[in-house]
Amino acid sequence: MKLFNYFRSSASFRVRIALHYKGLDYDYIPVHLVRGEHHDPAYTVRVGDALVPALLTDDGVALSQSMAIIEYLDETHPSPPLLPAGPLARAQVRALAQMVACDIHPLNNLRVLKYLVHELKVDEAGKNAWYSHWARSGLEAFERQLVLLAQQRATQGLAPSVYCWGDAPTLADCCLVPHVFNCQRFNVNLQGLPLTMAAFAACMALPAFERSQPSACPDHQP
């Protein structure tokens, strides 16, 4: 498999986590977003949305969108799983993942920030305020959801979750960790989020997450 990605891309980071967690070999193909390499015709002819990540399967089929890629990997390489077994639990994990991927990330990705600066003439302070507001408010909602899930587990007599859901990483953790990395980069306040940050710490103690972070990528730049 080949993964077309950018070291700072949250969505790419998610897929790298899934690949490393499952112990899958892949070729790392850098696509530099800031330089606009994702608009190169050689890339867009293969990836219609001209975004990263894109996964080229062993059969030569290009898949886009990180969430779809991770679920494809989970279905084709089911061990270790990134979604729990039961339909209710799977829905809960997907909901957590989508809180990050659908509610938080779209407001703060590179093309939105570039539009704020270049088209709307927002200054650096304004851009950072925008980022911090949506990143923090999203995490506060995520924390509230973790609290509700923890209460459900307690009433069912289940042990507290180590990660976002349960005692093993899931799709939700694949989404949460890159977002927290970005929050740290932009100096977003991460205080008062005990369950969220505990899940993040538990993930970062695992080799798969450590190997997936931006600084471990071959195209990493300070």
The CATH number given to whatever domain includes residue 48 is 3.40.30.10
In this structure, what are the phi and psi dihedrals at residue 105, rounded to the nearest 5 degrees? -60, -40
- pLDDT at residue number 10: 96
pLDDT, tens digit (0-9, with 9 covering 90-100), for 122-140: 999 999 999 999 999 999 9
Q: Are residues 137 and 181 in the same domain?
A: yes
Is residue 222 scored above 80 in pLDDT? no
Q: Are residues 201 and 95 in the same domain?
A: yes
- Boundary-marking domain end, from 30, 63, 80: 80
Q: Are residues 105 and 177 in the same domain?
A: yes
Buried b (16+ CB within 10 A) or exposed e, 179-192: bbbbbeeeebeeee
Q: Are residues 156 and 174 in the same domain?
A: yes
pTM of the model: 0.94
217 occurs within a structural domain:
no
At a CB cut-off of 8 Å and minimum separation 6, what does 195 contact? 143, 146, 147, 150, 161
Q: Are residues 37 and 111 in the same domain?
A: no
Strand order in the sheet with 62-64: 27-30, 2-5, 54-56, 62-64
Q: Are residues 93 and 203 in the same domain?
A: yes
- Boundary-marking domain end, from 80, 109, 143: 80
pLDDT, tens digit (0-9, with 9 covering 90-100), for 68-123: 999 999 999 999 999 999 999 999 999 999 999 999 999 988 889 999 999 999 99
Give me the mean pLDDT over the 176-196 stretch. Answer: 97
Number of structural domains found in the chain: 2
If pLDDT is split at 50, 70 and 90, which confidence band does 144 have? very high
Place of tokens 């997450």: 209
Is residue 189 scored above 80 in pLDDT? yes
Cβ atoms 73, 24 nearer than 8 A: yes
Length of the chain: 222
Q: Are residues 68 and 106 in the same domain?
A: no
What SS3 class is residue 113?
A: helix
48 occurs within a structural domain:
yes
Strands 62-64 and 54-56: antiparallel
What residue numbers bound the domain in which 42 lies? 2-80
- pLDDT at residue number 110: 87
**Average pLDDT value over all residues in the chain:** 95
Is residue 47 scored above 90 in pLDDT? no
- pLDDT at residue number 76: 97
Q: Are residues 135 and 42 in the same domain?
A: no
Q: Are residues 66 and 103 in the same domain?
A: no
pLDDT, tens digit (0-9, with 9 covering 90-100), for 20-39: 999 999 999 999 988 989 99
